[in-house]
């Protein structure tokens, strides 16, 4: 299935005191529905690219499945205004999901639905404290630099997020882009899982801020290091600390800040910690 990921528009631009029309590329954003066993589960606004990776990554990071082998088929169906990703699960997993849906069904205002949603939002994060990965100062700088150089959609539009998987000595295994930062990371997780690369072998690097969901998804992948060009939230720092994850943020050229578990980084001045 081929869908345009960007289109050309001609906004009226005011530059240097002159009004003119300048062609500009803008990213496409469409509703992407995830359906399991024929029943709709969620709808995300996303860039219509790398959708099989998206399906695998979303299914695992959202706890719908525990392993890629639990998916027996993925079909992309064009809808009038978006795309429906039909995911077929193996029998036992599909039945477990159906039972879970039935147990969650209840009258509006039952009181439990909101609590369940809160518990899901702050769910226990995967433990990555045993991940043995060593990164140098140059690795951090190189990972972000490579990611910046590997985003064709961002170069054209300046309006999408990127996520990459950096392996020391090898570079970037994969890069995925999307209008949504969570979507970009889900697509990346799917790509790494489909490549059968252990999440513990590298670091996740993203162009967005670090929220708790980004930490949760990286931990589910098995990555012990998460790198970002922007800042983390307090809950992201607490969650990474509890998970044993090294959180590196605010990477600007040669400079960056390490918020949790600096032992995985070999720097010139370890005494600073």
180-224: per-residue pLDDT in tens? 999 999 999 999 999 999 999 999 999 999 999 999 999 999 999
Average pLDDT, the chain: 91
Of 48-52, 111-115, 127-131, the one with minimum mean pLDDT is 111-115
pLDDT above 70 (res 103):
no
- Note the pLDDT of residue 112: 44
Please report, for the chain, the start and end positions of each structural domain, with discontinuous segments joined by +.
Answer: 30-121, 135-272
CB 192 within 8 A of CB 232: no
- Note the pLDDT of residue 119: 67
- Note the pLDDT of residue 58: 97
Region 14-32: mean pLDDT is: 94
- Note the pLDDT of residue 117: 62
More confident residue, 164 or 80: 164
Region 163-187: mean pLDDT is: 98
Q: How far apart (Å, rounded) are the C-alpha atoms in residues 86 and 238? A: 36
- Note the pLDDT of residue 270: 46
Summarised one tens digit per residue, pLDDT across range 41-65 is 999 999 999 999 999 999 999 999 9
More confident residue, 121 or 255: 255
CATH topology of domain 135-272: Cytidine Deaminase; domain 2 (3.40.140)
Q: Could you list the active site residues?
A: 110
Q: How confident is the model at residue 111 (pLDDT cuts 50, 70, 90)?
A: very low
pLDDT above 90 (res 10):
yes
Q: Phi, psi (5° rounding) for residue 47?
A: -80, 130
Per cent of the chain over pLDDT 90 is: 83
The answer for residues whose C-beta is within 8 angstroms of residue 142's C-beta and 6 or more apart is: 166, 171
Residue 106 CA: distances (Å) to CA of 36, 69, 111, 157, 221: 20, 31, 10, 44, 32
* H helix runs in the chain, sequence order: 51-61, 91-104, 112-121, 137-149, 152-157, 181-194, 212-221, 234-243
pLDDT above 60 (res 115):
no
- Note the pLDDT of residue 132: 97
More confident residue, 151 or 97: 151
The pair of three-digit structure tokens given for residue 59, joined into one six-digit string: 């299914």
Region 124-152: mean pLDDT is: 97
Region 237-246: mean pLDDT is: 97
* Class of the CATH-defined domain 30-121: alpha beta
């Amino acid at each position: 299935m081929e869908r345009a990921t960007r289109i050309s528009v001609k906004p009226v631009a005011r530059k240097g005191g002159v009004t003119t029309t300048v062609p500009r590329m803008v990213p496409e954003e469409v509703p992407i529905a995830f359906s399991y066993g024929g029943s709709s589960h969620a709808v995300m606004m996303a860039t219509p690219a790398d959708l099989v990776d998206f399906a695998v990554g979303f299914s695992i990071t959202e706890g719908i499945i525990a392993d890629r082998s639990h998916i027996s088929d993925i079909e992309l169906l064009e809808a009038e205004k978006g795309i429906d990703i039909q995911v077929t699960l193996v029998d036992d997993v599909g039945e477990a999901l159906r039972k879970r849906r039935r147990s969650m069904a209840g009258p509006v205002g039952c009181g439990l639905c909101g609590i369940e949603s809160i518990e899901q939002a702050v769910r226990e994060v995967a433990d990555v404290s045993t991940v043995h990965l060593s990164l140098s100062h140059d690795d951090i700088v190189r990972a972000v630099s490579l990611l910046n150089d590997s985003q064709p959609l961002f170069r054209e539009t300046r309006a999408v997020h990127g996520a990459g998987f950096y392996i020391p000595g090898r570079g970037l295994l994969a890069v995925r882009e999307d209008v949504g930062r969570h979507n970009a990371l889900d697509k990346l997780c799917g790509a790494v899982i489909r490549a059968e690369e252990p999440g513990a072998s590298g670091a996740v690097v993203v162009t967005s801020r670090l929220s708790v969901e980004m930490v949760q998804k990286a931990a589910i992948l098995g990555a012990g290091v998460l790198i970002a060009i922007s800042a983390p939230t307090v809950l992201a720092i607490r969650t990474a600390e509890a998970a044993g994850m090294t959180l590196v943020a605010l990477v600007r050229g040669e400079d960056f800040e390490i918020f949790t578990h600096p032992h995985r980084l070999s720097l010139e001045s370890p005494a600073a910690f």
